[in-house]
Structure 1
Amino acid sequence: MAATRTAPHLITLVLATAISVLSVNMFLPSLPHMSVAFGADYAVVNMSVAGYLLVSAVMQLGVGPLSDRFGRRPAMLVSTLIFAVASVGCALAETIEVFLIFRMIQAMVVAGQVVSRAAIRDMYPPNEAASKLGYVTMAMALAPMLGPMLGGVLEMLFGWRASFWLYSILGFGLLALLWFDFGETNTTPSATFGAQIRQYPELFASRRFWGYSLCAAFSIGGFYAFITGAPLVAAAWFDLSPALLGLGIGIITAGFMVGNFVTGLIAARTKLIWMIIAGRVVATIGPLGGLILFFAGQGTVWIFFGAAVFVGFGNGLTVANATVGLMSVRPHLAGSASGLSGALVVVLGAVLTSATGIIVAPETAPFTVLGMMLGSSALGLLSALYVLRVDQRDPLPDVT
């Protein structure tokens, strides 16, 4: 069957990535009504977000190795089918317990991100893969921007279950698309799990892998710190309306999209590590400049959100390139590398989100948020410089 042999088109990978990201937050505007409908505390209903992220981190640790062992195509098809069925379960749930069970199962859709990244690395050499992944990663920025708006409209028109019925439709639609347009890209699957596990020390012992992974994790960590603290800054310092706050938060996402677009344009002819370092420098300069101006008494709403634009743009130059770099260290374990690094991003993001929420206070909110963004960006820069040092001492031919 031709569908099992033909490599997927880029738009298929974009849609798989977008749906996996959309599954996180489209229904967020419905949380208060869901709490009433289920007769459950808001904190319990909110587990559909926090618990989902935790389960998705664990799922990434499993789905990547499975795609290395059995292939990208079966991993994508099975996980998408599970997501679609679980979405139906969420839509039909009559109790909060049943809903949360199916909601956690929905986290299988994280394969859309993990396996798409690995498939791109299978299909292209490192620099071209970074260019293609830059375009795919733009979906990770656009979906969170549009998702809650769509969910809010569905809530108003049809109630909270509508979002989960839409998840079901999207899931089954994606499954059909993958069936006809996702040929196997993993041409050298592991013979057995035992053989695969025996190769893991190669990945875990790689200094490049951990350098690239920490760089990507700290890069995205700065975004988590920003979205956690920005609402308090907006309320306590600038008296912004919710609409203007949403616009301000969207700015960092817009910067991320532009950075990914630039990555898509030039990554094919630029060394990965230099793109990464450039992104980290830009992301560090923004909050550093913002902090200096706030300490000088010149801080404004434009300065605060402008610093976030630098972080978003810098992340756009960094994330796709760092992701390709970590998957290129051991190409035969690209799925495992993608899953492990994705889990690391989620865990570090949760830590930074919690830390920011604990230490931020109205009196010092912009200093705290800019400081967290600066620290995260700087640690990402140090991680990138570490990879550069390793490359200079021990060049790796297949990562350019």
Structure 2
Amino acid sequence: MQFSSSSAHRSPPKITTLVLLSGLSALSLNLFLPSLPNMALHFQADYKVMQLSIALYLLVNAVLQILIGPIADKAGRRPVLLWGLVLFLLATLGCIYAPNVEVFLVFRMCQAIIVVGMVLSRAAVRDLYDQDQAASMIGYVTMGMAVVPMIGPAIGGLLEESYGWKANFWLPFVLGVMTLMLTYSDFGETSAKSGKTLIQQFREYPELLRSPRFWGYSLSSALSSGAFFAYLGGAPFIGTELFGLSAAEVGIYFGAPAVGYFLGNFVSGRYSVHFGVNRMVLWGCWLNAIGVAMSAVLFLAGFGTALSFFGFMTFVGVGNGMTIPNATAGALSVRPHLAATASGLSGAIMLSGGAGLSALAGALLTHETGAMPLLWLMLATSVLAVCAILSVIRREQKLGL
């Protein structure tokens, strides 16, 4: 099978194609979560073993983001995307027909290849647009990534009740087939092949790693989103154990940052070109920090409630929705010829840091400590994100950029 860039496939992809690619990547993460108990029964496995399907997926996801970028800079976006989608479909079938939990977990890790959709949809945007316009377009592309995780578990729950756990893998399979067909017909190559060997391409990493601006943008994104990842690790405990909310109530409250993220992405799409990347990242990081700080003040004063805790997390979502698309566009613009490499590396930095903060948040919380350890952790990462983008702004002023 050969996925070349023939003359029929040279037109740039439509925004809907890019949204589908990034949305399918997000959907595969959490759609099946409501099915985990029944999947444990089906495979006669311990629930904690089934939970490995999330941790292992994230681990492979982070590693693949580092590898995909150089490969796509070498071979082009189109063939890597198409092969990635084909492999995702085969892995999904493997999950559906797995005879035991060990085989399922292997194919579940293989499913992480769908991260090509997220990495290369962002890289394609940077191929096609300058920095500020790219930030605007990435904002629109990642709106799908905000909506899908918000509604994914709800859809997964309905599918589980109606058709069983396998339906939560048949749905991404069908959507994957549709996305593959659309990508094949619509996604023209957006980048010239580098002409370098793969080894030479991987040797380009130090060029990014030596760039203070790349680190500034990547860390502002990673630390800002780190506050959200810490929230993911600690909020369920706070909702159920500290405030006595039911599972349904936690599910409703839990979506507050996702609503904010959607709004922040819209703001990015609408205003990034006008105000520029750096200002949008700075304002997003400040909003993130202010929301957490206001929640912390209420808890310290003894007025913290479930409504105030989850309500102020909307600010975290808005801040991230402004920070991540713009910081990503900034990181991809430091070395435009390494856009896919930068997209993968910055994504891996964000994901690996987020996974660590999520685990740390869960470990810090007890009934005795209350919500404050989580809020202090979120506030610290938010303030460090502000420092990271300020370092970029100062450096650009010094260099006259």
TM-score, normalization by structure 2 = 0.96
- Contact 1:34–1:160 (CA under 8 A) maintained in structure 2: yes
Match of 1:121 in 2: 126
1:311, 1:84 → 2: CA distance? 34
- Contact 1:229–1:365 (CA under 8 A) maintained in structure 2: no
1:144 corresponds to 2:149: yes
Match of 1:4 in 2: 9
1:243, 1:130 → 2: CA distance? 36
- Contact 2:136–2:272 (CA under 8 A) maintained in structure 1: yes
- Greater than 4 Å deviation, 4+ residue runs: none
1:144, 1:194 → 2: CA distance? 36
Counterpart of 1:155 (choices 156, 160, 170) is 160
SS at match of 1:8: coil
- Contact 1:190–1:196 (CA under 8 A) maintained in structure 2: no
Instruction: Output the amino acid matched with 1:182.
Output: F
Q: CA deviation at 1:220?
A: 1.1
1:156, 1:291 → 2: CA distance? 39
Match of 1:283 in 2: 288
1:190, 1:347 → 2: CA distance? 31
1:184 corresponds to 2:189: yes
Deviations 1:170-208 (A, max 9, x none): 111111111001000012524322443443322110000
- Contact 1:76–1:115 (CA under 8 A) maintained in structure 2: yes
Instruction: Output the amino acid matched with 1:388.
Output: I
Match of 2:279 in 1: 274
SS at match of 1:362: coil
Match of 1:382 in 2: 387
Match of 1:99 in 2: 104
2:283, 2:264 → 1: CA distance? 11
Would you say how many aligned residue pairs link Structure 1 and Structure 2? 396
1:188, 1:55 → 2: CA distance? 26
1:234 corresponds to 2:236: no
Deviations 1:6-61 (A, max 9, x none): 11000100000000010011000111111111111111111111101101111111
SS at match of 2:371: helix
Distance 1:236 1:104, change over 3 A: closer
- Contact 2:136–2:273 (CA under 8 A) maintained in structure 1: yes
Counterpart of 2:221 (choices 216, 231, 253) is 216
2:104, 2:234 → 1: CA distance? 30
2:39, 2:133 → 1: CA distance? 44
Distance 1:340 1:227, change over 3 A: same
Further displaced range: 28-37 or 295-304: 295-304
Q: CA deviation at 1:2?
A: 4.4
Match of 1:174 in 2: 179
SS at match of 2:271: helix
1:297 corresponds to 2:277: no
SS at match of 2:370: helix
Match of 1:27 in 2: 32
- Contact 1:131–1:264 (CA under 8 A) maintained in structure 2: yes
1:216, 1:47 → 2: CA distance? 26
1:3, 1:374 → 2: CA distance? 51
1:13 corresponds to 2:14: no
Instruction: Output the amino acid matched with 2:11.
Output: T
SS at match of 1:364: coil
- 5+ long unaligned stretches in structure 1: none
2:8, 2:374 → 1: CA distance? 48
- Contact 2:226–2:381 (CA under 8 A) maintained in structure 1: yes
Instruction: Output the amino acid matched with 2:43.
Output: F
Instruction: Output the amino acid matched with 1:263.
Output: S
Instruction: Output the amino acid matched with 1:136.
Output: V
Deviations 1:132-159 (A, max 9, x none): 1101111111111111111111111111
Match of 2:3 in 1: none
Match of 1:49 in 2: 54
SS at match of 1:363: coil
Instruction: Output the amino acid matched with 2:301.
Output: A
SS at match of 2:245: coil
Further displaced range: 195-204 or 73-82: 195-204
2:206, 2:93 → 1: CA distance? 40
SS at match of 1:247: helix
Match of 1:344 in 2: 349
Q: CA deviation at 1:371?
A: 1.4
- Contact 2:43–2:100 (CA under 8 A) maintained in structure 1: yes
- Contact 1:232–1:365 (CA under 8 A) maintained in structure 2: no
Deviations 1:237-283 (A, max 9, x none): 32222222111110111001101101111111112111110111111
Further displaced range: 386-395 or 131-140: 386-395
Q: CA deviation at 1:391?
A: 0.9
1:368 corresponds to 2:373: yes
Match of 1:253 in 2: 258
Further displaced range: 10-19 or 99-108: 99-108
1:136, 1:22 → 2: CA distance? 14
1:37, 1:153 → 2: CA distance? 18
Q: CA deviation at 1:376?
A: 1.4
1:62, 1:304 → 2: CA distance? 38
Deviations 1:50-73 (A, max 9, x none): 101101111111111111000000
Instruction: Output the amino acid matched with 2:68.
Output: V
